[in-house]
């Protein structure tokens, strides 16, 4: 059932070495169920590779590791197992839940306990992260439970190759691992290997097709449901449920109904029956993902209904089967008139959704991009996240690096995500992570394709890993997560210079998001990318377009006035203290200044520098940091896999070229516009 | 042999009505040859439609029209025929040449004489333009000879649909009339109808594939030569020779030779043999068109050779068969560093080619774009045109409206082309037209596709018509040409209000090129279009790219300094007086000011306005003119074909939308940069 990744594919964070601590010992697995079988198979393979043994019955040599369902305790097994359960009850009386587990060490035996099979699986990967440390000093049972029940990846994969967007919309890692040229890929082992990687970092749900649902993709819901079921079969052994992006117009385009009106009885009946058929074929199906009335996708507006009507239609169909609908809040006018400074795309999601709070069914999850615009390198947290107390909300991140270097640039995103998750709304101390933990969970747009390194840039694997881990535990620190990922992926202890390897990866990655921010759009103003593909600089690229993404730079200043006093009023969508903090250019954090304010180039930041000098300085600094990264990477040759070294070298070269282009274009643009020379006399062009 | 255009295709300037004057009379055709047969067939069809008669023998009723080869005079026929020949000899002793003809009227008989069959064909279309006027007062023989022997269209048509550029590169009239999806089109009647239209405006050569020669197109030269021969078969009855764009790398990509070095004996032998095979299949083949070492196309530079070596290689192969090579001078560095202000794309063609003067074989035609950049709405005349006295040069225009509205905007280009053709080089009074008439001729990139109106915008037909006529006689005035085209195409005398129809078309079209100039890039600065597709405004779209097309706008001023004194030195490529006229911002014509000079926004033009106010004014004016055109077009409903009216209405709507976008983006851009308000307080955004 389990198997290694296909031989030409990088093992990512599950190379054989990380199974040594378990695989070299005598192990006992206790309990029944599909995922217990998965655990057994994983341990069995590890033992086959590393000389240990595994069994399911209690006869045999004394085990050094016991992995057991709580229900199986007492039904034989070593005394340490009973002891672990006893002290678990002493430490923590509550159930471990669907995915939780507890780890104890008694005498010479390490014990992993779980209420449910999925918990045992997640516990197994916890043991793998610990390695030999799992077999050290004795300790009482330590329970672990995920902060979020829903830890999801959205794939923006198309079944047919889209004439503009390709096989994967905003994909930077080759083709889709699910689809190829209109058909499912034959390489199901690759999907299974992917499922295993996802389980190992904590993901438990995957949407397998693009939220922009084109003609072929629409039919996955009905006549091509078998294609989805095949993928579900590969994900199921790793505890991952499959979700499907559907088109709101499905009753019309698939069934020929005259309307898709959510209040129409025939429409409701069609969704109910269609959904029943989905569950008949895929009993553990997760639910639907919907982008409606957004960027040209159909939705309830066509019928004079609102998003609550639309979402509830699907939720009603899913409810009998335990499914959920992820209804995206990414709704705005993408045919805006750039001349009209009163319209503000940042306001749109809140304006559309906040008034609907309380009207959504309990199995509707409103899926909110973490920022009010669109996955820029820097944005404030979306006010929608705190605005709808009676609604379940998922927070959406973008692992695929559409606006953060497209996996040609090193950009470790965990610091950015962590900052968002830790953002506190106000006096009650609740954070973004707390909101997501209320039931909606976290979603990320996947950065994976059929590339041999999974993510194009080998170092971008860390983003996928970190996302899963943050969804499990948002309190984890980005640097700790990077430690975990480095140990698993590069197993430095087996290299000639473990310290150099670890230190260099941290030096290159820890601050790489801020480095990227330095050489791209300044101070939260966003965009300035080439239209269409969104790679590389074009300061005015979106300035006179209908997309609502402007910077309003003129000869005197730059930035978007989103204040109540003189601007679009977006700041009023925030609760206190943020509505006040953002309203004033005095209190607004530097890094968001141009998101909220239009200021003169000579405006002095909290840093003591003027805006214009900040632009020059950060752009020179950002490039210098990339130059340093290039130099640092070279000595790792021989310390990391040769193919990884070569691929990263090639990407760093491109990153440096592109970073210089950003620096020179941004500096030239603002120098030409402001007329202000660089304080240090550097060339601005 | 002849036939009307396919029934769903607009007849352009050859509707049935224009044949009435001839077709309602008794006609006599005298002489032998394929093109005499074409003339006979045309007259025969006209007579069948309009009640006249036509015969080839001298027996029968007295003819009102005689069309005869000089060689056939005296061999029977009416006395007026001999009289016409006699007075032709009295008026003009020289031969009429390959394509010339003479028209006389004696008594009640109109006589058309030609030395060669092609002359008779061109004379026939002259008669058609004259209509009833050809049958008025008697007059002695008037000879007509083309100013240029070579009057050519280049089709940038691909055989395979190119993934980026499509079936026709820079095509705005649907698919190719020659190729569809990798194969020749089956609709050969369409090609024949096209040949007829071209002959009727004077074209005598067509290159049938894109100068960017991709893999499939390369094989037209060899294994797919039959496809070219098929097209030649359709063009031959109208006196049009077919040319082929070839890749310089052909010996390597088609024959597997290890090199395409022009001095390599095996390469020379391959071209000689390949060309021999082409002529064996297509005896009247015209020759090769080559874009070498330009925008990624292969060329002699790869082998350390120069353009003369490259062109002479092909010329040597073509010479025994009477063929020519059109070698394009459009060579520049398209990977320029925008930071480097010393490199100037405008200089490139001259720098590459001028030193080679005298080294090209006699059957090499260096094909020069009329301006030094790339078919912008306004450029100076290319200095290459006068720089190489010992070299044949063709002047290349662009009928396809890549940079002039893409056949969605009305832009009658004859005034622009006429201005270029009349441009005088200096004291000797020689013009651009004189240079082209020395043997190289005129070339235009075709604006035709498989659109039912041939050119997308029905009014864009006038550009194709005018180009052919200007190549025949560059002294023709744009307004006269428009008269000709209007009479043929719309036959106003049959409409309910001939004056309104004529007047309105002139009002909309006469000044439409200058209108387009007004609302787009100002004062000769060029570009400012959206990169890639080149439609609509994007002021900085090419500003920080490798393409060498910059405006250098900053907060103080705008324009490119191409002077000897302080700039790139491009002005030195011109002979006097132009080198001096362009060198000084005082003498430089307003419309080219920003092509040659970087000036402050407050610089005062000869018009008395500042540059910045000129920008604002012309952009408001240009849009107002388009608004007026929209209003003027409406009352023509009922006076022109309904489908034409509807199509033009739709295009005008888009032109107005786009012109407003140009106005507002350009004005906003320069207002934000300069800070100067409009003198009249109009909104600048």
User: Is B295 among the catalytic positions?
Assistant: yes
> What CA–CA distance (Å, rounded) separates A233 from A282?
9
The answer to whether the Cβ–Cβ distance between A555 and B675 falls below 8 Å is yes
pLDDT > 90: what percent of chain A? 94
The answer to whether the Cβ–Cβ distance between A673 and B538 falls below 8 Å is no
> What CA–CA distance (Å, rounded) separates A527 from A538?
9
The reply to whether B339 touches chain A by the CB within 8 Å rule is: yes
> What CA–CA distance (Å, rounded) separates B438 from A259?
69
The answer to whether the Cβ–Cβ distance between B672 and A554 falls below 8 Å is yes
Q: Compute the residue count for chain B.
A: 685
Q: Indicate the angle between helix axes B34-50 and B117-130, nearest 10 degrees.
A: 30
pLDDT > 70: what percent of chain B? 99
Q: How confident is the model at residue A92 (pLDDT cuts 50, 70, 90)?
A: confident
Q: Are the CB atoms for B447 and B154 separated by under 8 Å?
A: no
Half-sphere exposure in the Cβ direction for B333 (13 Å, CA) = 15
- Residues of chain B with Cβ-Cβ distance to A538 below 8 Å are 540-541, 544
pTM of the complete model? 0.93
The answer to whether the Cβ–Cβ distance between A669 and B539 falls below 8 Å is no
Mean pLDDT of the A555-559 span: 98
Q: Are the CB atoms for B66 and B22 separated by under 8 Å?
A: no
pLDDT digits (tens, 9 = 90+) for B229-261: 999 999 999 999 999 999 999 999 999 999 999
The answer to whether the Cβ–Cβ distance between B544 and A674 falls below 8 Å is no
Mean pLDDT of the A361-372 span: 98
CB nearest to B339's CB, from A338, A556, A664:
A664
Q: How confident is the model at residue B1 (pLDDT cuts 50, 70, 90)?
A: very low
The answer to whether the Cβ–Cβ distance between B665 and A544 falls below 8 Å is yes
Statement: residue B105 has pLDDT above 80:
yes
The reply to whether B668 touches chain A by the CB within 8 Å rule is: yes
- Structural domain boundaries in chain A: 16-144, 151-334+355-475, 516-559+598-674
Residues with Cβ within 8 Å of residue A7, at least 6 apart in sequence:
none
Statement: residue A500 has pLDDT above 50:
yes
Q: Could you tell me which of B304, B300, B324 has the C-alpha nearest to residue B314?
A: B324
Q: Could you tell me which of A503, A501, A523, A527 has the C-alpha nearest to residue A514?
A: A523
Q: Are the CB atoms for B583 and B565 separated by under 8 Å?
A: yes
> What CA–CA distance (Å, rounded) separates B492 from B17?
11
Statement: residue A76 has pLDDT above 90:
no
pLDDT digits (tens, 9 = 90+) for B285-325: 999 999 999 999 999 999 999 999 999 999 999 999 999 99
Would you state the structure tokens that stand for residue B468, as one six-digit string?
């052919």
CB nearest to B673's CB, from A555, A661, A665:
A555
A569 phi-psi bin (left φ>0, alpha ψ -120 to 50, beta other): left
pLDDT digits (tens, 9 = 90+) for B538-565: 999 999 999 999 999 999 999 999 999 9
Long-range contacts of the stretch B178-187 (C-beta < 8 A, 24+): B178/B208, B178/B209, B178/B231, B179/B209, B182/B216, B183/B159, B183/B227, B184/B227, B184/B230, B184/B231, B185/B450, B187/B6, B187/B450
The reply to whether B337 touches chain A by the CB within 8 Å rule is: no
The reply to whether B553 touches chain A by the CB within 8 Å rule is: yes
Q: How many CB atoms lie within 10 A of CB A257?
A: 17
User: Is B374 among the catalytic positions?
Assistant: yes
The answer to whether the Cβ–Cβ distance between A537 and B544 falls below 8 Å is yes
> What CA–CA distance (Å, rounded) separates A493 from A131?
12
- Residues of chain B with Cβ-Cβ distance to A665 below 8 Å are 544
Size of interface A-B (CB pairs under 8 A): 56
> What CA–CA distance (Å, rounded) separates A630 from A684?
23
Statement: residue B2 has pLDDT above 70:
no
- Residues of chain B with Cβ-Cβ distance to A527 below 8 Å are none
Residues with Cβ within 8 Å of residue B118, at least 6 apart in sequence:
B35, B98, B99, B204, B239
The reply to whether B554 touches chain A by the CB within 8 Å rule is: yes
Superfamily grouping for domain A516-559+598-674: Alpha-glucuronidase, C-terminal domain (3.90.1330.10)
Statement: residue A7 has pLDDT above 70:
no
Q: Are the CB atoms for A519 and A619 separated by under 8 Å?
A: yes
Q: What is the pLDDT of residue A427?
A: 76
A166 phi-psi bin (left φ>0, alpha ψ -120 to 50, beta other): left
Mean pLDDT of chain A: 96
Q: Which of A336, A341, A529, A540 would best serve as a mutation to test chain B binding (most B beta carbons within 10 A)? A: A540
pLDDT digits (tens, 9 = 90+) for B597-651: 999 999 999 999 999 999 999 999 999 999 999 999 999 999 999 999 999 999 9
CB nearest to A672's CB, from B555, B665, B668:
B555
Mean pLDDT of chain B: 96
> What CA–CA distance (Å, rounded) separates B441 from B447?
19
CB nearest to B685's CB, from A339, A538, A672:
A339
Q: Could you tell me which of A512, A492, A610 has the C-alpha nearest to residue A556?
A: A610
User: Is B517 among the catalytic positions?
Assistant: no
The answer to whether the Cβ–Cβ distance between B555 and A669 falls below 8 Å is no
DSSP label at residue A677: P
Q: Is the peptide bond before A577 cis (omega within 30 degrees of 0)?
A: yes
> What CA–CA distance (Å, rounded) separates B240 from B155?
14
Q: Are the CB atoms for A393 and A440 separated by under 8 Å?
A: yes
The reply to whether B664 touches chain A by the CB within 8 Å rule is: yes
The answer to whether the Cβ–Cβ distance between A685 and B537 falls below 8 Å is no
- Residues of chain B with Cβ-Cβ distance to A539 below 8 Å are 540
* CATH code for the domain defined by A151-334+355-475: 3.20.20.80
Q: What is the pLDDT of residue A1?
A: 43
Can you spell out the DSSP letters for A306-356?
Answer: -HHHHHHHHHHHHGGGT-EEEEE-----TT--TT-TT--GGGHHHHHHGGG
pLDDT digits (tens, 9 = 90+) for B19-63: 999 999 999 999 999 999 999 999 999 999 999 999 999 888 899
**Cα nearest neighbour of A674 on chain B:** B555
B507 phi-psi bin (left φ>0, alpha ψ -120 to 50, beta other): alpha
Between A7 and A585, residue with greater pLDDT: A585
The reply to whether A672 touches chain B by the CB within 8 Å rule is: yes
Q: Could you tell me which of A292, A296, A324 has the C-alpha nearest to residue A309?
A: A292
> What CA–CA distance (Å, rounded) separates B595 from B598?
8
The answer to whether the Cβ–Cβ distance between B540 and A537 falls below 8 Å is no
Q: How confident is the model at residue A91 (pLDDT cuts 50, 70, 90)?
A: confident
pLDDT digits (tens, 9 = 90+) for A626-673: 999 999 999 999 999 999 999 999 999 999 999 999 999 999 999 999
The reply to whether A539 touches chain B by the CB within 8 Å rule is: yes
- Residues of chain A with Cβ-Cβ distance to B539 below 8 Å are 540
* CATH code for the domain defined by B516-560+598-674: 3.90.1330.10
> What CA–CA distance (Å, rounded) separates A348 from A342?
12
Strands B166-168, B157-162: pairing is: antiparallel
> What CA–CA distance (Å, rounded) separates B103 from B30?
15
What are the phi and psi torsion angles at A166 (to 5°)? 80, -165
A239 phi-psi bin (left φ>0, alpha ψ -120 to 50, beta other): left
Q: Which of A338, A340, A342, A555 would best serve as a mutation to test chain B binding (most B beta carbons within 10 A)? A: A555
- Which one from A17, A344, A374, A561 is the annotated catalytic residue? A374
pLDDT digits (tens, 9 = 90+) for B172-214: 999 999 999 999 998 899 999 999 999 999 999 999 999 999 9
Coil/strand/helix, residue B218: helix
Q: What is the pLDDT of residue A6?
A: 60
Q: How many CB atoms lie within 10 A of CB B637?
A: 11
Statement: residue A615 has pLDDT above 90:
yes
Mean pLDDT of the A559-565 span: 98
Q: Are the CB atoms for A450 and A175 separated by under 8 Å?
A: yes
Q: Could you tell me which of B171, B298, B183 has the C-alpha nearest to residue B245?
A: B298
Can you spell out the DSSP letters for A96-165?
Answer: -TTT-EEEEEETTEEEEEESSHHHHHHHHHHHHHHGGGGGSS-EEEEEE--S-S-EEEE--EEEEEETTT
What is the nearest CA distance from A664 to chain B, expressed in angstroms?
Answer: 8
Q: Is the peptide bond before B577 cis (omega within 30 degrees of 0)?
A: yes
C-alpha torsion angle, residues B253, B256, B259, B263 (rounded to 10): -100
Strands A392-398, B442-445: pairing is: unpaired
Q: Which of B540, B542, B657, B658 would best serve as a mutation to test chain A binding (most A beta carbons within 10 A)? A: B540
| Domain range A16-144, CATH class | alpha beta
Q: At the topology level of CATH, where does B151-476 sit? A: TIM Barrel (3.20.20)
Work out whether the CA dihedral B596, B602, B608, B609 comes out positive or negative: positive
The reply to whether B672 touches chain A by the CB within 8 Å rule is: yes
Q: Are the CB atoms for A187 and A180 separated by under 8 Å?
A: no
The answer to whether the Cβ–Cβ distance between B339 and A675 falls below 8 Å is no
């Amino acid at each position: 059932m389990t198997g290694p990744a296909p031989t030409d594919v990088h093992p990512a964070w599950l190379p054989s070495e990380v199974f040594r601590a378990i695989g070299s010992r005598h192990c006992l697995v206790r309990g029944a169920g599909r995922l217990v079988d998965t655990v057994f198979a994983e341990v069995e393979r590890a033992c086959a590779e590393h000389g240990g043994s595994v069994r399911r019955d209690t006869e045999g040599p004394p085990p050094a590791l016991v992995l057991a369902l709580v229900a199986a305790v007492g039904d034989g097994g070593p005394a340490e197992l009973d002891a672990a359960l006893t002290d678990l009850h002493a430490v923590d009386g509550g159930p471990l839940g669907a995915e939780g587990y507890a780890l104890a060490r008694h005498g010479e035996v390490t014990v992993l306990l779980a209420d449910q099979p999925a918990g045992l699986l997640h516990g197994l990967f916890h043991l793998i992260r610990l390695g030999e440390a799992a077999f050290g000093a004795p300790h009482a049972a330590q329970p672990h439970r995920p902060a979020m029940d829903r830890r999801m990846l959205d794939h923006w994969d198309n079944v047919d190759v889209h004439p503009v967007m390709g096989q994967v919309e905003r994909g930077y890692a080759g083709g889709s691992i699910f689809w190829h040229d209109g058909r499912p890929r034959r390489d199901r082992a690759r999907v299974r290997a992917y499922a295993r990687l996802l389980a190992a970092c904590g993901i438990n749900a995957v949407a397998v097709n693009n939220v922009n649902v084109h003609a072929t993709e629409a039919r996955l819901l009905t006549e091509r449901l078998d294609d989805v079921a095949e993928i579900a079969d590969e994900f199921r052994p790793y505890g991952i449920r499959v979700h499907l992006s559907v088109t709101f117009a499905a009753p019309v385009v698939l069934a020929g109904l005259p309307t898709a009106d959510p209040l129409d009885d025939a429409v409701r009946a069609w969704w109910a029956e269609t959904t029943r058929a989905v569950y008949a074929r895929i009993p553990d199906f997760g639910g639907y993902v919907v982008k409606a009335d957004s960027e040209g996708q159909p939705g309830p507006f066509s019928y004079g209904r609102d998003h609550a009507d639309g979402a509830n239609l699907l939720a009603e169909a899913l409810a009998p089967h335990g499914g959920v609908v992820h209804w995206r809040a990414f709704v705005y006018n993408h045919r805006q008139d750039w001349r009209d400074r009163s319209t503000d795309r940042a306001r749109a999601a809140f304006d559309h959704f906040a008034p609907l709070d309380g009207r959504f069914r309990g199995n509707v999850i409103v899926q909110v991009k973490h920022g009010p615009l669109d996955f820029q390198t820097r944005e404030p947290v979306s006010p929608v996240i705190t605005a709808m107390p009676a609604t379940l909300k998922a927070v959406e991140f973008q692992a695929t690096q559409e606006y953060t270097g497209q996996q040609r640039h090193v950009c470790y995103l965990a610091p950015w995500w962590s900052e968002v998750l830790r953002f506190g709304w106000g006096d009650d101390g609740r954070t973004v992570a707390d909101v997501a933990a209320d039931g909606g969970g976290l979603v990320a747009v996947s950065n994976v394709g059929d590339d041999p390194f999974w993510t194009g840039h080998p170092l971008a694997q860390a983003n996928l890993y970190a996302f899963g881990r943050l969804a499990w535990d948002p309190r984890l620190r980005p640097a700790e997560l990077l430690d975990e990922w480095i140990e698993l992926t590069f197993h430095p202890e087996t290299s000639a210079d473990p310290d150099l390897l670890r230190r260099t990866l941290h030096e290159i990655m820890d601050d790489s998001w801020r480095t990227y921010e330095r050489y791209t759009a300044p101070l939260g103003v966003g965009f300035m990318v080439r239209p269409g593909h969104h790679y590389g600089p074009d300061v005015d690229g979106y300035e006179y377009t209908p997309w609502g993404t402007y910077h309003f730079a003129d000869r005197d200043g730059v930035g978007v006035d989103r204040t109540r006093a003189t601007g679009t009023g977006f700041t009023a969508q925030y609760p206190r203290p943020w509505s006040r903090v953002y309203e004033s250019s005095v209190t607004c954090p530097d890094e968001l200044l141009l998101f909220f304010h239009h200021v003169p180039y000579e405006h002095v930041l909290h840093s003591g520098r003027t805006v214009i000098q900040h632009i020059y300085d950060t752009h020179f600094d950002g490039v210098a940091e990339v130059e340093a990264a290039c130099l640092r990477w070279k000595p790792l040759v021989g310390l990391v896999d040769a193919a990884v070294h070569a691929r990263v070298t090639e990407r760093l070269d491109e990153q440096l070229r592109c970073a210089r282009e950003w620096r020179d274009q941004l500096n030239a643009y603002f120098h030409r516009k402001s007329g202000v020379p660089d304080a240090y006399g550097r060339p601005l062009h």
